[in-house]
Chains A and B, each alone.
Chain A
Amino acid sequence: MRSGNLARRKLVERLAVTLCVLALLIALAPLVHVLYTAINIGGSRLNWTFFSQPAAGLPYIGTQGGVLNGLVGTVLLLFIGGLISVPLGVVTGMYLSDFGGGRLGSTIRAFSDTLLGVPSVIWGLFGFLLFANPISQVGLHLNRSALAGGLTLGLLMTPIVARVTEISLHQVPLGFKEASLALGATRWATMRRIGLRVALPGILTGVLLALTNAIGQTVALLLANGYTYLMPRWPPWGPQGNVTDLGSMIYLYLYQPTTLLHAPAEAAVVVLLGLVLIMSLLSRALTAIGRRNYAG
């Protein structure tokens, strides 16, 4: 490296760093403005009524009432998704961690990782055809409903839970497992008593990550769950089985030809962002707990 022109090189560095700071400001500006817009337009609607009442009002449903239908529907969809994906994903992660060293394991890992790249709209097409569509040749014919939407979420969450479970189990110190096996415990007992217990915070982080990802799968839910303005009804399948989720609620409020729904839509954005933020912070806290666990 030429040592000459030090002044010029320092000037280049200063210019470059200024550009980088500028890049950071340019990139953060939309994020800040997204948040500002949500609070500015939706803030006036954020009171107790908004959280405790389902959407109401005429002629545009949503101009009155609140977001309760969206909150309850979102929770129901996530619950069904978790019910499917947690057992499937955790057991897959266990298999990959304990027996996944060979070619079979690599194949399953490759399929699982490939699923991570499937876009939401494709999950929606798949969930619609396989679970919802009443005239599909092969499928469950559930109509667009909470069960069809929840099953779709369950499938798209499974590879995430599997991957994070495997990573968390790999981080369990080898000595812990060896000690257990040396004492004569079976691999199953070692997994149940040592692996799963030590890796639990990591696995829960993965479940939270999958749930946070599932909340944002608006297209998949629009296609598999459909949309209603009503609170969940029994049964959660069939023509009246669909529920409201927050993302679809925002999409359809803004789809209506009225500006009256802008405020409730942005208020729902604030609620959605709040949920995502809480879940992200929770998963960060769990990661910290997990680190302590691995340290033994």
Chain B
Amino acid sequence: MEIEVTESPDQAVNAASVSVVVPPHSTRSSRRSRVDAFYHWGSFVVSLAVVIILVAILLVLISTAWPAITAYGPGFLAGTVWNPTINVYGAAPFIVGTLMTTGLALLIAVPISIGIAILLTEYAPGSIAGVIGVVIDVAAGVPTIVFGAWALLELLPWMSNTAEPAIAAVFGWFPPLDPNNSPTGITGYGIFTAGLVLSAMIFPTIVSVTRGSFAATPLEMREASLGIGATRWETATRVVMRGARTGMLGAIVLACGRALGETMAVVYVIGLSPRIPQSLFDQGHTLSTILLTQLFGGNASSGTMTAAALYELGLILLALSLLAGLAGRYLTRRLSGALVLGGGR
């Protein structure tokens, strides 16, 4: 056997001869270790970028919001009045608006999405499930301004002309669900319509992640359940869903994170009124819609108390979103599959 000692690592090496070549402690090996040390530390320094970005976001937001934080303290969270002309700022209207729209969206989207996920993993033939799965995955990536435009041009007139009068006719006896009972009457605008748009927007996220966790159920467990005579529905609810509880919860929390920060899908239909909604059909504002409408106009760029208060609202929204994002990612950490992008848009 011919033994070939290569001088450069770039040169082709005869595989059969490698096992007998002992690399000498020469300049070559130290050059190699220098290359790798440079690679190691160089890539480490670059990867610090993500740390710096997050710290910078927090620093920039906190420092800009600082005048409001020190002026109003924790009472800012509970303040119910937002009136820049008299320098009174409270976050409660926007926090309540955000939680109401998000809660309503989840209430509608969660049962529907779980039903769809069961249908796709347990019942639908592979090819049909595949096609619907692709449609739903693509829908999860659609820019949300598309939903916003549809909500303004189609959903809003339908809500005010058809849906809300119908709801009023059915639930007229029950004030919290009576659109006529809201301070502005039947307009189509408000928390309810915004929640509907959000539910249409977040259901693909819940379906994708839930499907992933359902599909992770071992085949043996399904077979065992079917083998002792359970119907497929009983298998789905008692075996598959039980095993996928954590993943399902993760899907819901991730979708919640997207709904919390959503701006473009709701900005045209929520009504943009900065007070605590009195009912489900009242008009309102969310943390993100107040930020867009006030800061895009440029009437509160920076340096004023209004701007500081707005940036404090931003901090509250960031805290809620990060909490949902981290919890969702923790709950779904065992699932392999498509990367779910949180963060409302």
Contact = CB atoms under 8 A, between A and B. Distances in A.
B3 interface: no
B314 A273 contact: no
Given A17-B123, A114-B322, A251-B264, A119 B147 contact: no
A125 B40 contact: no
Contacts of A112: 50
A265 B13 contact: no
Given A111-B51, A119-B343, A223 B296 contact: yes
A185 B43 CA distance: 18
Contacts of A159: 50
Contact of B233 (A16, A88, A185, A187): A16
A137 B307 CA distance: 14
A183 B318 contact: no
Contacts of A116: 325, 329, 339, 341-343
Q: Which of A21, A24, A136, A159 has the most CB of B within 10 A?
A: A24
B118 A20 contact: yes
Q: Which of B18, B207, B322 has the most CB of A within 10 A?
A: B322
Contacts of B147: 34
Contact of B57 (A17, A118, A254): A118
Interface string A214-234: 011111001100000000000
Contacts of A218: 143-145, 263-264, 345
Given A19-B115, A31-B200, A118-B343, A276 B142 contact: yes
Contacts, number: 295
B49 interface: yes
B56 A130 contact: yes
Interface stretch (A6-14, A51-59, A61-69): A6-14
Interface stretch (B79-87, B132-140, B209-217, B240-248): B132-140
Contacts of A239: none
A136 B56 contact: no
A229 to B, nearest CB: 16
Given A218-B143, A276-B142, A277-B138, A92 B47 contact: yes
Contact of A162 (B47, B230, B342): B47
A23 to B, nearest CB: 4
B169 interface: no
Interface in B185-212: 200, 203, 207
A99 B321 contact: no
Interface string B118-162: 110001000000001011011101111111111011100000000
Contact of B321 (A122, A128, A223): A122
Nearest to A23: B115
Nearest to A255: B268
A183 B47 contact: no
Contact of B345 (A9, A115, A136, A219): A219
Chief secondary structure at chain B's binding surface: helix
A280 B233 CA distance: 33
A193 B152 CA distance: 52
Interface residues of B, number: 100
A11 B200 CA distance: 30
Contact of B288 (A108, A121, A273): A121
Contacts of A197: none
Contacts of A114: 54, 322, 325-326
Interface string B257-269: 1001111100110
B6 to A, nearest CB: 8
Contacts of A219: 263-264, 288, 292, 345
B296 A222 contact: yes
Q: Which of A13, A158, A217 has the most CB of B within 10 A?
A: A13
A233 B40 CA distance: 41
B311 interface: yes
A184 B9 contact: yes
A200 interface: no
A102 B60 CA distance: 30
A122 B150 CA distance: 24
A30 to B, nearest CB: 4
B20 interface: no
A222 B288 CA distance: 13
Contacts of B321: 117-119, 122
B233 A135 contact: no
Instruction: Sort A-B residue pairs by CB-CB distance and give the 8 closest, nearest first.
Output: A117-B325, A119-B261, A216-B143, A23-B115, A95-B43, A13-B233, A92-B47, A117-B342
Interface of B: 6, 9-10, 13, 15, 18, 23, 32, 35-36, 38-40, 42-44, 46-51, 53-54, 56-57, 60-61, 63-64, 111-113, 115-116, 118-119, 123, 132, 134-135, 137-139, 141-150, 152-154, 200, 203, 207, 228-234, 257, 260-264, 267-268, 288, 291-292, 295-296, 301-303, 311, 314, 317-318, 321-322, 324-326, 328-329, 339, 341-345
Interface of A: 1, 3, 9-10, 12-13, 16-17, 19-21, 23-24, 26-28, 30-31, 33-34, 37-38, 41, 87-88, 91-92, 94-96, 98-99, 104, 107-108, 111-122, 124-126, 128-130, 133, 135-138, 155, 158-160, 162-164, 167, 182-189, 191, 209, 212-213, 215-219, 222-223, 247, 250-251, 254, 262, 265-266, 269, 272-273, 276-277, 280, 284
